[in-house]
Structure 1
Amino acid sequence: MNHVAISETKLSIEKLTCMVTSPGCGAVASFMGTTRDNFDNKTVVKLEYEAYDEMAKKKMLEVCQEIRSQWKVENIAIEHRIGVVPVAESSIIIAVSSAHRSESLEAVSYAINRLKEVVPIWKKEVYEDETSAWKQNKECSWSEARLENGTNEGTSPLD
């Protein structure tokens, strides 16, 4: 089972781990990315996410297929929150089940890194002083840092 979702409501790690748990699996690995209260000596009060929902879900499903081509896993669940995500709340949860721990642990690690590279979701940090900044994942294929280094020239968030 592959489950992907974009949600404007609070995410639940319990829901996703229950969703992927299977009697034939001895491992469920998960990752929960939360809003931290600081960045670069600034106090962060919230994050705001925007997404191209249809494309984001398509890319998330592609990541599920990539995982299945590399590891023997049973179930995969990935949910990303959009809109306002307060400090200490989750913006992304990934859960993967497998017969043995190594597959699910490696798959979860791969998933978060790959999602940051290819899924069209954008994040704005809002600071205590009421300023804000759109943040760019250094891993994303359309990152200015990657383009400055001469990699992935001409790519866009929708490639």
Structure 2
Amino acid sequence: MHPISILGPGAEDLAGTLAERLAGRVAVVRREEHAGDPDGSEASGPVDGTPAGDTTLALAPDGSWTGRGSVDGFDALLDDLAPDHDYLVAVGYDRLRVATVLLGPDADPDGTPGDVIASGDRPEDVDVDDLLAALDRAEPWITRELLVERVERSADAERSGAIATFTGRVRARDAPDDDRTTHLAFEKYAGVARERMDAIAAELTDREGVFEVAFHHRTGVIEAGEDIVFVVVLAGHRAEAFRAVEDGIDRLKDEVPIFKKETTESEEFWLHQRP
């Protein structure tokens, strides 16, 4: 899923125009300043005779639905929507590693955590064709669950009895008295890195009993506690799955040109330049 955040006056108008132009399944998320209904009223009890619940949905015969629920922040919403959508257009939210459009004469790219790909005083100042092209070049929001769904669609899924995964995360510290790592920053030779990961995946799937292997390594700034890299393997049995996952992450770290800069509470350094 490719997420994009639009900030500033006129963001709703540009979001509507963009959503109409995007091809595929599109989710639109708007910031509400008040809990409850979009008009700001509270909605903690039954509505129109519907019992109250943590998540309430009304499903029509044609498959359309309306509902109300809660998630644990914008990140959780991105993770939840990623497997079922090609794009997400967010109005009023911004985040590290999310493509961002800034609107308004006082917009400040330096004060925006997202990757600014377009700006303008007004929505009509933004070239939508250029914006679409820039969004498709931006790194997608990939989750472990999305990769699991991809391998489950394998033509060999009926022969599989195991799915094994590995998730690498940003470790805050190795020992209790270490300086805390606040974040890591990853850079990669985009085309070369993807080609090498695809080659490793192909070599692993040549093994007996291994049907599908999927890799994804996030780039940009990733904060302590966040996920960095995923390896997912679909195999006939758990032994083949576990071996392929372990070999996959080891080879990714050894062979794929991805460079890591670590920032702690006291210093900043590139790992490959560390003595």
Report the aligned-residue RMSD. Answer: 2.1
Matched, 1:135 2:266: no
Cα deviation for residue 94 of structure 1 reads: 0.5
Are residues 24 and 69 of structure 1, via their aligned partners in 2, closer, same or farther at CA, if it must alter by over 3 Å? Answer: closer
Contact 1:126 1:133 in 2 (8 A): yes
Structure 1: 4+ residue segments shifted above 3 A: 7-11
Matched, 1:100 2:231: no
1:83 is matched with which residue? 220
Matched, 1:114 2:245: no
Contact 2:205 2:213 in 1 (8 A): no
Q: C-alpha offsets along residues 87-133 of structure 1, whole Å, 9 cap, x if unaligned?
A: 1111100100011111111000000001111100000111123x211
Contact 2:209 2:240 in 1 (8 A): yes
Cα deviation for residue 23 of structure 1 reads: 3.4
Using the alignment, how far apart are the partners of 2:140 and 2:169 within structure 1?
14
Aligned equivalent of 1:31, options 156, 166, 171: 166
Q: Which runs of 5+ in 1 are unaligned?
A: 1-6, 137-142, 146-159
1:35 maps to a residue whose letter is V
Q: Which runs of 5+ in 2 are unaligned?
A: 1-137
> Higher relative contact order at CA 8 Å, sep ≥6: structure 1 or structure 2?
1
Q: Which has the larger radius of gyration?
A: 2
Instruction: Provide the TM-score with structure 1 as the length reference.
Output: 0.75
Q: C-alpha offsets along residues 33-57 of structure 1, whole Å, 9 cap, x if unaligned?
A: 0001115722100110000000001
Instruction: Provide the TM-score with structure 2 as the length reference.
Output: 0.45
Q: Greater share of strand residues, 1 or 2?
A: 1
Contact 2:210 2:241 in 1 (8 A): yes
Contact 1:50 1:123 in 2 (8 A): yes
